[in-house]
Structure 1
Amino acid sequence: MLSDWWQKNIARLTDPSCSLCGMHIKREQLLSSHHAFWCTHCRSTIIEHNRCQCCGLPTESPQHAHCGACLKSPPLWNRLYCLSDYQPPLSHLVSQLKYQRQFWHARPLAIELAEIIDNPAPIITCVPMHWTRRIWRGFNHSEHLAYFISHKVGSYFEPKLLRRSKITRPQRGLSSKQRKTNLNHAFEVADRPIGKHVAIVDDVVTTGATIEQLCKLLLDVGVETIDIYCVCRTTLSNNNKSV
């Protein structure tokens, strides 16, 4: 796996190309940005700014900061930042990061996400992974994303704030009701946070069942403001491949 990483980065240094479309990145873009992993065209077409600040779902215009559903019944978290829906080409990168152990995708995805976070939480944590699944996968992809985001925005990284105490079925393919039931008593607070404003990092948010469980735990121990940082935001009806 380490040799794959070296091959990936050596190729990028000798012939820099967009990791999304494969096109050559112009020299002026490389000079203007130290993290030019995507070409200008891909960045402009993928990152969507017209989204509800609470749930992260698309809105009709930038003037609609909150959708009607969130105005009527706000979620437990304060803000949700994401890059795009769970669709190609970002869905491919997330899948490669998560299931194919291509961990080098974490840094560019995290840096691009950090660029749109206008008010970073002082403490950043991640969705925890059960230790058995972590051994099987080799690493927690959400932890990698959280590490690079915290480094970019200058926040304190606390990966062990939350703990997964129970093995559960994968969320992939489950209905909204099944996802909530599946996560009952699956998490616990491992260490009390040192601040009142915390951000939780995950790769994809679908129904919000996972982050809702984590938000309840943090609110119960005194956290007052919770933000969600995710690469993709989707709905169960649009795509059943996310987790």
Structure 2
Amino acid sequence: MVSPFTLFANTLPTPPYCQLCRLPIESSHQPDNEPGSKLWCRHCRQRFPQPPYCRRCGANTVSMSTYCGSCLAQPPPWQHFVRLGEYRFPLRTLVHQFKFGRKFWLAQPLGHLLAAQISEPAEAMIAVPLHPLRRLYRSFNQSALLAAAIADKTPSRYLPDAIRRRRYTRPQHRLNRQQRQHNLHQAFILKEQPLPSHIAIVDDVVTTGSTVGAIAKLLKLHGVERIDIYCLCYTPTAKNP
């Protein structure tokens, strides 16, 4: 026979558990209006890697700066870079869950956290597009979901049909720097014109910048004056082959 105490205990509300450390989330210490407060505990969110970085190219720096030495010598084809953090635990785990684990609902809390870092929102945003075959396999475009989530929290409007990928390419994360740049030659085409003068490109992870760089150059050719990059994670180039 089941005891009355067991019956009573089974009726008690179950506390939410952090999706990273699996420990109960203390609701008294979690402001309801903070993005991700229902998914991750305060301690895990404080571990999101957020080292200072260059606001032009996105590379790690000793302190927050507008330009770094590399930008002064060879500036990237965009003007401003905003990132949520560095591509290591626990953000790396979340990106893998979101992108490869098909947990598409993570786009909203991650996108809202990224939106909070944007001080001067672009007039419009475009997402790095997937080829239709890869879109069919994955069932969603993670960058498009992020752009829509950022649009919820900023004045920027998302242009879902502004750009498309016209050539199937090998996955960028499997290539070295030289192969990445060759892999993207004439891979994108703009569909929507005219475009506003200030546009942000949204991607989940930026490593060498080849993908967003190729799109930025294309936007420049069509008269866009300022280009920003919004991404969840940046991978230090020193770690790349």
TM-score range, shorter chain: 0.7 to 0.9
Aligned to 1:72: 73
- Residue 56 (structure 2) pairs with residue 51 (structure 1): no
Gaps of 5+ in 2: 1-12
Q: Distance in 2 between matches of 1:23 and 1:65?
A: 39
How far apart are residue 221 of structure 1 and its match?
Answer: 0.7
Aligned to 1:10: none
Gaps of 5+ in 1: 1-12
Q: Taking structure 1 as reference, are residues 49 and 88 closer, same or farther at Cα in structure 2, changes over 3 Å only? A: closer
Higher mean C-alpha deviation, range 80-89 or range 35-44: 35-44
Deviations 1:150-200 (A, max 9, x none): 111131111111110000111122110000001101101111244110011
Which stretches of structure 1, 4 residues or more, deviate above 6 A after TM superposition? none
Q: Distance in 2 between matches of 1:109 and 1:176?
A: 27
Q: Distance in 1 between matches of 2:194 and 2:127?
A: 13
Aligned to 2:20: 20
Deviations 1:91-145 (A, max 9, x none): 1111121112111111111111111111111101100111111111111111001
Aligned to 2:30: 30
Q: Distance in 2 between matches of 1:148 and 1:107?
A: 5
Higher mean C-alpha deviation, range 208-217 or range 185-194: 185-194
Q: Is the 8 A contact 1:126 1:143 kept in 2?
A: yes
Letter in 1 for 2:127: C
Local SS of the residue matching 2:200:
strand
Q: Distance in 2 between matches of 1:193 and 1:129?
A: 22
Q: Is the 8 A contact 1:86 1:239 kept in 2?
A: no
Name the TM-score, length of structure 2 as normaliser: 0.87
Q: Distance in 1 between matches of 2:44 and 2:240?
A: 22
Q: Distance in 2 between matches of 1:115 and 1:16?
A: 24
Q: Is the 8 A contact 1:175 1:236 kept in 2?
A: no
Local SS of the residue matching 1:172:
helix
- Residue 171 (structure 2) pairs with residue 170 (structure 1): yes
Q: Taking structure 1 as reference, are residues 163 and 26 closer, same or farther at Cα in structure 2, changes over 3 Å only? A: same
Q: Distance in 1 between matches of 2:79 and 2:97?
A: 30
How far apart are residue 49 of structure 1 and its match?
Answer: 5.1
Aligned to 1:39: 41
Higher mean C-alpha deviation, range 171-180 or range 82-91: 82-91
Aligned to 2:128: 127
Letter in 2 for 1:52: C
Aligned to 1:61: 63
Q: Distance in 2 between matches of 1:216 and 1:33?
A: 38
Local SS of the residue matching 2:185:
coil
Q: Is the 8 A contact 2:83 2:232 kept in 1?
A: yes
Q: Distance in 2 between matches of 1:176 and 1:51?
A: 21
Q: Is the 8 A contact 1:193 1:223 kept in 2?
A: no
Local SS of the residue matching 2:178:
helix
Higher mean C-alpha deviation, range 85-94 or range 205-214: 85-94
RMSD between aligned residues = 1.9
Local SS of the residue matching 2:55:
coil
